[in-house]
Amino acid sequence: MTIDLTEEELELSAMVREFADTVVAPQAYEADRTHTLSMDVVAQMGELGLFGLPFPEEVGGQGGDYMALGLAIEALGRVDQSIAITLEAGVSLGAMPIFRFGDDAQRAEHLPDLLAGRALAGFGLTEPEAGSDAGATRTTARLDGDEWVIDGAKQFITNSGTPITRFVTVTAVTDVAEGRKEISTIIVPNGTAGFTVEAPYDKVGWRASDTHPLTFEGVRVPASNLVGERGAGFKNFLSILDEGRIAIAALATGAAEGCLEAAIDYAKSRTVFGAALSTRQNAQFTLARMRARVHTARLAWHHAARLRDAGKPFAEAAAIAKLAAGDAAMDNARDATQIFGGNGFMNEFAVGRHYRDSKILEIGEGTTEVQLLVIARGLGLI
């Protein structure tokens, strides 16, 4: 399972797994029950350097890559998907757009705190009419002197309303020419007049992660808050999303493994008709299939991460990884719940939470159908 990992990568994985088991797991049920993101856990992740993993040292990062980030996210996803997605979104959607497309001033202002976990940021893309079809964006931004004036709404925005959220980078239509929308990305600091972080969602899963709808009514920010070139927002978003799919695949693999580990332990300890459940062939075959799914999902996201880190095309591999790992998480959550029987329907047990949490892995950062489109395009069918 770890044949392709270096000694340094193995050490990182072991460190984060220990942190997950000793710090994250004990608070997971209560955090889920109360819909509360533990800022103490976030702070400790920052102290471990997890938010800076794929960034170079010269900007305050750890000098790692997406393989390192994926290993950390997978380890956290085993025990608490809400914490894992907080890290994933904090890096892929919060800090990465600033690092990849921001200017020197934006990097200097925002990256030190984002990479240290002292601050979080969100990425405002999704709207009621614009999710997978990001080109349908209705939020607008117009220049008025040296300021952007932003109007519109976003939904399902992660890390947008925590006590340490500094800003949201939003996609907005900055011009329409010949029927085509020019989409740009703009930094909107939290607390800006007219920018409202609405009440959090009552979600089915990921209940301890921070997710809000956002509204913008005549929001004014400096023209210098434009991230990257004007009109390049859609293209830049797609590149960020491809990388994020690798991280989501790693999270899903961790969830699938967490379900497998819990199901094995429960099957060994549960007595049915005078013998351990693990002695029953049906249970053995179920667990074997779960193991195969974890292995396949891990190989897929490792492959995509290695391609990305080597500077090679990886969009199709990322789509395959997200598709395979999302399926593995859902299937393993269902099978683990069946192994647990009635206990699997109780939120106190991690498999019950994984059962609720894992569905979004087939939706967020590109639905299953979008991944199939990407793969079909790679086959030359589109």
* Residues taking part in catalysis: 365
Which helix (H) or strand (E) segment holds residue 31: the answer is helix 25-34
Tokens 């591999």 correspond to 317
Beta-bridge mates of residue 127: 130
* Residue 203 CB neighbours (<10 A): 16
- Quote the CA–CA distance of 306 and 315 in Å, as a whole number: 12
Sign of CA dihedral 270, 275, 278, 283: negative
Q: How far apart are CA 188 and CA 195, in angstroms?
A: 8
Whole-angstrom Cα distance, residue 268 to residue 277?
6
Compute the Cα dihedral for 205, 206, 210, 212 and give only its sign.
negative
The secondary structure element, H or E, covering residue 153 is strand 147-158
Token digits for 381?
């069918």
In terms of Cα–Cα distance, which of 302, 320, 297, 321 is closest to 378? 320
- Cβ atoms of 184 and 141 within 8 Å: the answer is yes
Alpha carbon of residue 18 to chain centroid: 21
Return the CA Rg of the chain: 21
Asked if 119 and 166 touch (Cβ cutoff 8 Å), the reply is yes
